[in-house]
Amino acid sequence: MANVVVVGAQWGDEGKGKIVDWLSERADVIARFQGGHNAGHTLVVGGEVYKLHALPSGVVRGGKLSVIGNGVVLDPWHLMQEISSIRAQGVEITPETLMIAENTPLILPFHGELDRARENQNSVAKIGTTGRGIGPCYEDKVGRRVIRVADLADRATLELRVDRALVHHNALRNGLGLERIDRDALIEKLAGIAPQILEFAAPVWKVMNEHRRAGKRILFEGAQGALLDIDFGTYPFVTSSNVIAGQAATGVGLGPGAIDFVLGIVKAYTTRVGEGPFPTELDDDDGQRLGERGHEFGTTTGRKRRCGWFDACLVRQTCATSGVSGIALTKLDVLDGFETLKICVGYELDGKPLDYLPTAADQQARVKPIYEEMEGWSESTEGARRWADLPGAAIKYVRRIEELIQCPVAMLSTSPEREDTILVTDPFAD
């Protein structure tokens, strides 16, 4: 059976939650493979709105196994609050439907404190983090001082891990003018949450390989977007993990051969939250209109998203770095009523044409978009479920995007509702 990776191909907020939920009906296992609760997915199912942050989108479907992989960093207290909230909406979550990898790093309270202190004191250039401790936790993982899920099962091990972490963090906090961490209070806090987290702990790498050998369909769910990737994003205004599709295998303990199809989620225009370069950003009425019609506010932070025209140059680049097999184009309906649409087909840098976004930050800030104009449409595309339901100009727009990004459209989403989707290519097809 085919296994599918879903990744955002822009700066996040592309509508991954709905697409993953739509695909999860056909999957047996849905696995989160990177990121933390800085991600936000909004699902609309039968009129019910679910807002997910750490939980995989598959939890709202019964009879599926949802997995939080080792590539994720997990705030245990936030997770239990989220589970409680989703349960209150009538969704059953048990150790049979949710597993957490035993080697998943834990976000602790001092990670968030450090995150916020750095951002508040950074007078040079703010990164625009959510302040939830994701970056500092990944730092501790690489620095070999993080506390992992499995450490919660043994008090002696837990104390040893905490002591190792505090040697580093108390020195940092001293330099930032923060109080020292109360070691004993932290250990007791972790001991208190341990039974709730350990209930879901499992050797996810083993379970995933068993499911793969049994021919189960696996859906790998990414967070954020490829342009926020720590290596290939608009550094330093990026997240702290690898977002691109190659991380899917590493983030759950499978080999790269487990990936059969990469679905890149792409919004029909471009948005970004926080700081960083944005070549096609609009500070005019068109940008305001896109934001209002698209309800462009972050699920996690509530921050207003910056809006701009579709950047085919950037999406072509992310399709290449993630090996995208096909894209799911979302929010086409937001473009209804525009007389003229623009697509960025390349850049100009110091008077010279360029067909990719350069790596150097100063060059990213200087590039100017080269636009191609297309005729808009006055008819509504909202809720369309067949190509025949779309205006001719909308179809031309979609086809031109395919040409420019050098990747076919596999799915087309025309509203937040699960069923308002046009399927062109089945990612799960053998």
Active-site residues, by number, are 13, 41
Question: In the Cβ-directed half-sphere of 386, how many Cα atoms lie within 13 Å?
Answer: 2
End-to-end CA distance of the chain: 6
Scanning 133-225, the segments in alpha helix (DSSP H) are 134-142, 155-176, 183-198, 204-213
CA–CA gap between residue 265 and residue 409 (Å, rounded) = 10
CA–CA gap between residue 304 and residue 309 (Å, rounded) = 16
Q: What phi, psi does 387 have (nearest 5°)? A: -55, -35
What are the DSSP calls for 281-300, one per residue? Answer: B--SHHHHHHHHHTT-B-TT
265 residue type, one letter:
I
CA–CA gap between residue 71 and residue 76 (Å, rounded) = 15
CB 237 within 8 A of CB 127: yes
Is the CA virtual torsion 124, 125, 131, 134 positive or negative?
A: negative
CA–CA gap between residue 238 and residue 275 (Å, rounded) = 9
Name every residue whose Cβ is closer than 8 Å to that of residue 376 and which is 6 or more positions away in sequence: 335, 337, 338, 339, 340, 341, 393
CA–CA gap between residue 239 and residue 229 (Å, rounded) = 6
